[in-house]
Structure 1
């Protein structure tokens, strides 16, 4: 898809990857409708790229928030892309998480994404060429200790993407799935950063991640998994899950120690 003719509705723009993507999409000439609750961060982006950005302030976890975004998308006009980037995580052993934290992850990472997509899909179908981009995670393919609830939401997003791509196979709407690995953003607690350092797990720069996602959008690439050896582990986990079990079992004592650290 040519960025100069793109009109995207984008969630999660105030995050590290999101802000980098906004800059790169705008540099290519795209028009963006940004959705979020953090007005200061979104307003700063709008001021940085005048004439290319419109804002919609809403809580996607609430039905009225999703309805407000749909109204804004209709006013935006000629929408030919939806980028689902909004999400939250929490690094903790499952038995140490409370109901509210788990419910919040499911509400934003899964329910809000599905419900917003359902609302926006008829607008995308009106275009001769349209893209739906779901930004997932390596943890949508590999269940990882300390992220059980988060993994559940990202596995759900990956399955949703796969099913919807097949559901829309006879339309002009193409469905893309991008799975970053660990990235240097504020979403990661200090314990996660230190755990990755001790395990020698690389964390990508958000600018580099954004470049790869934007490139996938331009090429309309259906699936993209970022990072090595994470790409290999995704494939191994699908073919030889017991091998991955054994590798993670060796890491488990260290993961458990960091997962017990209060943020």
Structure 2
């Protein structure tokens, strides 16, 4: 897909990965409709790219706000690239989560992208070439303790992407599923970041993820899994899940210890 003059709807545009993608798209010559609840974080980009970037305030859990996005996309002259990058996460054992936390993850991470994609599909099908990009996670392929509900939403998003790609196989709309590994963004709590440090996990910066996403879009990829050895573990989990079970079992005491730490307590490995 060519990005110059592409018309893009980008959700989660004020998040770490979303904002980095927005900047990369604008730099490539695309016109971007940034969807976010608040504008403050986007202000510098809106000032830098006044002709390429515009913002619509929307809570994607609300049907009325999804219709606002549709109206803004129509006003932009249609859309040929939809990037579902909005997401929320909570690091905690399942019994530590409130129902409201679980419902928020389900609403933002899976209900919103499915319903928004459905709403925008007629516009996407009108384009000569179009793409839906769903930003998932390595945790959409590997179930991980402390992230049971989050994993459930990302597994669902991966399944949705695969099925939608097959559903649209006889159209001009393609589907790209993106699976970043741990990324340095504000979506991760201090506890989650401390756990990553304790596990010596590889953590990418948002610009690295955005650059890979842009290359995958331009290259008309169908999926993108970031990071090594994470890509290897995804394959291993598919082939020998019991082996991965044993490896992750060793991390469980550490995960439990960090999940029980108050957010305002100093965290050490």
Shorter-chain TM-score: which interval? over 0.9
Which residue is 2:8 aligned to? 8
Which residue is 1:93 aligned to? 93
TM-score, structure 1 normalization: 0.98
Structure number with the higher helix fraction is 1
Which residue is 1:156 aligned to? 156
SS of equivalent to 1:177: strand
* Deviation (angstroms), 1:45: 2.1
CA distance in structure 1 between the aligned counterparts of 2:99 and 2:78, rounded to whole angstroms:
40
Residues 95-110 of structure 1: matches in 2 within 5 Å? 95-110=95-110
Residue 184 of structure 2 corresponds to residue 184 of structure 1 = yes
Superposed CA RMSD in Å reads 0.9
Q: Which region of structure 1 is more displaced relative to structure 2, 62-71 or 248-257?
A: 62-71
Residues 114-193 of structure 1: matches in 2 within 5 Å? 114-193=114-193
CA distance in structure 2 between the aligned counterparts of 1:139 and 1:162, rounded to whole angstroms:
16
Which residue is 1:76 aligned to? 76
Unaligned runs of 5+ in 2: 264-269
* Deviation (angstroms), 1:245: 0.2
CA distance in structure 2 between the aligned counterparts of 1:24 and 1:67, rounded to whole angstroms:
26
Residue 228 of structure 2 corresponds to residue 228 of structure 1 = yes
Q: Which region of structure 1 is more displaced relative to structure 2, 189-198 or 216-225?
A: 189-198
Residues 43-58 of structure 1: matches in 2 within 5 Å? 43-58=43-58
CA distance in structure 1 between the aligned counterparts of 2:244 and 2:259, rounded to whole angstroms:
20
* Deviation (angstroms), 1:257: 0.5
Which residue is 2:19 aligned to? 19
* Deviation (angstroms), 1:120: 0.3
CA distance in structure 1 between the aligned counterparts of 2:192 and 2:43, rounded to whole angstroms:
30
Q: Which region of structure 1 is more displaced relative to structure 2, 65-74 or 119-128?
A: 65-74
SS of equivalent to 2:182: coil
CA distance in structure 1 between the aligned counterparts of 2:25 and 2:75, rounded to whole angstroms:
21
Which residue is 2:259 aligned to? 259
CA distance in structure 1 between the aligned counterparts of 2:25 and 2:65, rounded to whole angstroms:
25
CA distance in structure 2 between the aligned counterparts of 1:251 and 1:40, rounded to whole angstroms:
38
Which residue is 1:67 aligned to? 67
Residues 238-253 of structure 1: matches in 2 within 5 Å? 238-253=238-253
| Post-superposition CA distance 1:162-221 (Å, at most 9, x none) | 000000000000100110000011111111111111211110111111100011011111
| Post-superposition CA distance 1:7-27 (Å, at most 9, x none) | 100001111111111111111
TM-score, structure 2 normalization: 0.96
Unaligned runs of 5+ in 1: none
Which residue is 2:207 aligned to? 207
CA distance in structure 2 between the aligned counterparts of 1:35 and 1:114, rounded to whole angstroms:
15
CA distance in structure 2 between the aligned counterparts of 1:221 and 1:116, rounded to whole angstroms:
22
CA distance in structure 1 between the aligned counterparts of 2:17 and 2:155, rounded to whole angstroms:
20
Matched length: 263
